[in-house]
Amino acid sequence: QNIAVVTHGQANDPFWSVVKNGVEAAAKDSGVKVTYRAPESFDMVAMSRLIDAAVNQKPDGLVVSVPDASALGAAIQRAVKAGIPVITINAGLESSKKLGALLHVGQSEYDAGKSAGEKLKEMGGKNGICVNQEVGNVSLDLRCKGFADGFAGKTKVVPTGNEPSEVRAKVKAALDSDTSIDTIMALGAATAGEPAVAAAKDSGRLAKIRIATFDLSAGFLKAIAAKEAAFAIDQQQFLQGYMPVSFLALHAKFGLMPGGNVPSGPNLITSEKVSQVIELSAKGIR
């Protein structure tokens, strides 16, 4: 069988590379062929063409992420109309059913952000910044928005690039110019989380600042273990790659399909749980 996976995350994005690893593991385990495709930037127009291209090849199943239901709707509906079973992952929980997908695996970015915000508020945070390494990428913007809504305190977005040294300098600048900041929410562990920890060290206030991040990286997990950072939100995105592929493989073979959506997270990694995760993270499984 052939299963096509089309997502909105670039292949070199650490988060999505884990999803892709999950897809490949499932393909091996279930003995199906998969192709994983994604546009090279957050580009909904290009992504809908990639879905079309995948559908043209009449796959036995289609896995898509849906960060923009109106832009991708037509392409997904075309697949559904052609009788191809579709599972949505990661983003798109709200629109999954409406578009005719069988089910959704994953969790909405907004909800993950919200629960992280609530947790940080619980830990005593009052004034937070959200370090966004790709402003305009709707999934990242939703993470920030969720954080702001859950945190319910004073929040501000700090837009940065992908370069650790630049992120570090900007976070330090933010901390230095507003000494009441006590919470940092980073939207990526390696790109934003680790430099944020370094910046907090540079500004001499590491002890007073709660740092949390989306996704995992070995470096950030070490900081959690050392109690320098608070926690990391893990969507267990490996599952978002693995499960839909094996579901669709089973569907093609035996017509089986679970009855409802599968939430893969959120899962907060705090200092207690960190030790088991570090090695897996370095291998691209968590």
Binding residues among 191-250 for other proteins as defined by CB under 8 A: 191, 194-195, 198, 202, 204, 217-219
Touching other proteins, residues 117-136 (CB under 8 A): 135-136
In the list 30, 48, 65, 183, the residue contacting other proteins (rule: CB under 8 A) is 48
Instruction: Print burial letters for 262-274: b (CB count within 10 Å at least 16), e (below 16).
Output: bbbbbbbbebebb
Q: How many residues of this chain interact with other proteins, rule: CB under 8 A?
A: 75
**Choice between 126 and 222, CB closer to other proteins:** 222
- Going from the C-alpha of 132 to that of each of 103, 180, 215, 216, 284, the distances in angstroms are 30, 20, 13, 16, 22
Residue with Cβ nearer other proteins (115 or 191): 191
Of 28, 81, 97, 227, the one binding other proteins (CB under 8 A) is: 81
Q: Is 138 in the site for other proteins (CB under 8 A)?
A: yes
User: Which residue type does 74 have?
Assistant: A
Rounded alpha-carbon distances, angstroms, from residue 174 to 26, 36, 130, 155, 171: 43, 39, 11, 12, 5
Look at residues 209, 218, 161, 221 and name the one whose alpha carbon lies nearest to residue 185. Answer: 209
Q: By CB under 8 A, which span of 16-24, 86-94, 229-237, 250-258 interacts with other proteins? A: 16-24
Q: CA 159, CA 136: separation in Å to the nearest integer?
A: 10
Measure the CA–CA gap between 159 and 245, rounded to whole angstroms.
35
- Dist. CA 231–CA 173, nearest whole Å: 23
Q: Which of 56, 256, 257, 276 binds other proteins (CB under 8 A)?
A: 56
Residue 154 found at the interface with other proteins (CB under 8 A) = no
Shortest reach from residue 154's CB to other proteins, in Å: 13
Given 64, 99, 105, 158, the residue binding other proteins (CB under 8 A): 158
